[in-house]
Amino acid sequence: MPEPTPFTNRFTSRRGMLFGAAAVSAGTLLVGCTSNDSKDEEPAANDQPAADDKPGKQVTIGFAGPQADHGWLNAINDNAESRAKKYSDVTLEITEGSNDTAQQIGQIETLINKKVDVLVVLPADGKALTQVGLKAMRAGIPVINLDRIFNTPQAYRCWVGGDNYGMGLNAGHYIGEKLKGKSDARVIELAGLDNLELTKQRTQGFDDALKNYPNIKKVARQAAEFTVESGQAKMAQLLQAQSKFDALWNHDDDQGVGALRAIEQAGRDDFLMVGGAGALAAFQAIKQDKGVLKATVLYPPTMAASAIDLARALGQGKGVGGLAEYEIPASITLYSAVVDKTNVDQYMSTGFK
């Protein structure tokens, strides 16, 4: 078996020090330096036992997230709840969730008044909820800020989230390596909501990666809304406008369901597609390898499980094993691995519905 190219090796394996899916577990941070042997590359799925699961001090964790109106957000809630159930010393107080910032602030204030030991918050809007994060911290309740970041580090003890720039970067390099032997290659991009900073970061990473491949030109970009319906409508527009291209990067696997419908309806199969996030449906399509979808770039919802692990560690006054420091880190950025048919089986258990 030939040695993979540097970019292929870098972006399709978990080589190096990666904070992977559910890698942080209750005071033990699993930092993997893996080999090319597939048995070393199996990611830590949320259904695997936590490394430090011996009962300790009882900890009440308050969890507040936005409304689960998207597959990824629903998976965030599921990961938090299922992880908490693994610990006999954890009680999880979970709110209903809301996309209305005033309502979510009220839910978090209720958790503060209940005097939970630690708060885990995925804000509907990081800027708008910064003040309630500060309120919790000033009340002596450490906050784990999940994904959408507050405006100031004073509003959280630790931030845990995905790498939006890295998603675009890794998607771009994957596509670049697939097309590097083709002259005048053309790529298009189906982005998410353009008013979100994360969308801009994903596009910037993608554009920066493509600078390494002078034979590739991005010829079109269309913003969708992270929904199946928008994905289908915007992809149909792209297909009408672009009669020939070689690759598509779609920012989100949920809107990718709609994009694939549009592609099928148009009878197109003359390009490769890379998705984003890590939905189970995307993994299954990649494994079957019967359509244009060849890979997806992870944005793991298992970050919520890691946040519960960290919250428990904070509540019990523990640090993180595997590091020299006594305290947990101030921030943890998950790695955006590329999943294709060569490694999809290893990640299948982490796919969200």
pLDDT 10s per residue in the chain (353 long)?
333 333 333 333 322 223 333 333 333 333 333 233 333 333 444 454 444 668 899 999 999 998 888 889 999 999 999 999 999 999 999 999 898 999 999 999 999 999 999 999 999 999 999 999 999 999 999 999 999 999 999 999 999 999 999 999 999 999 999 999 999 999 999 999 998 889 999 999 999 999 999 999 999 999 999 999 999 999 999 999 999 999 999 999 999 999 999 999 999 999 999 999 999 999 999 999 999 999 999 999 999 999 999 999 999 998 877 878 889 999 999 999 999 999 999 999 999 98
Closest CA to 24 of 144, 187, 152, 143: 144
pLDDT at 52: 64
Q: What contacts 138, CB < 8 A, 6 or more positions away?
A: none
Closest CA to 246 of 210, 215, 271: 271
CA–CA separation, 279 vs 299, rounded Å? 10
Q: Are 118 and 87 in contact (CB under 8 A)?
A: no
In the chain the domains, ranked by start, together with CATH numbers, are 19-162+300-336 (3.40.50.2300), 164-298 (3.40.50.2300)
Q: Which amino acid does the sequence have at 245?
A: F
Closest CA to 225 of 339, 352, 78, 69: 69
Q: Are 331 and 259 in contact (CB under 8 A)?
A: no
Both ends of the chain: CA-CA distance in Å?
34
Residue 144 pairs in a beta bridge with 120, 158
CB atoms inside a 10 Å sphere around CB 47: 12
Q: Are 236 and 260 in contact (CB under 8 A)?
A: no
pLDDT at 88: 96
CA–CA separation, 146 vs 127, rounded Å? 13
Q: What is the pTM of this model?
A: 0.81
Q: What contacts 343, CB < 8 A, 6 or more positions away?
A: 12, 13, 38, 41
CA–CA separation, 129 vs 122, rounded Å? 10
In this structure, what token pair is assigned to residue 27?
């005071």
Helix, strand, coil % over all residues of the chain, rounded to 5: 40, 20, 40
Torsion, Cα 98 257 337 304, to 10 degrees, reads 20
Rounded to the nearest 10 degrees, the angle between the axes of helix 228-241 and helix 253-266 is 40
Q: Tell me the CA distances in angstroms from 231 to 192, 226, 236, one per residue in order.
A: 9, 7, 8
Closest CA to 34 of 2, 10, 4: 10
CA–CA separation, 159 vs 17, rounded Å? 18
CA–CA separation, 152 vs 31, rounded Å? 27
Q: What are phi and psi for residue 120, nearest 5 degrees?
A: -115, 120
CB atoms inside a 10 Å sphere around CB 69: 11
pLDDT at 29: 38
CA–CA separation, 43 vs 310, rounded Å? 19
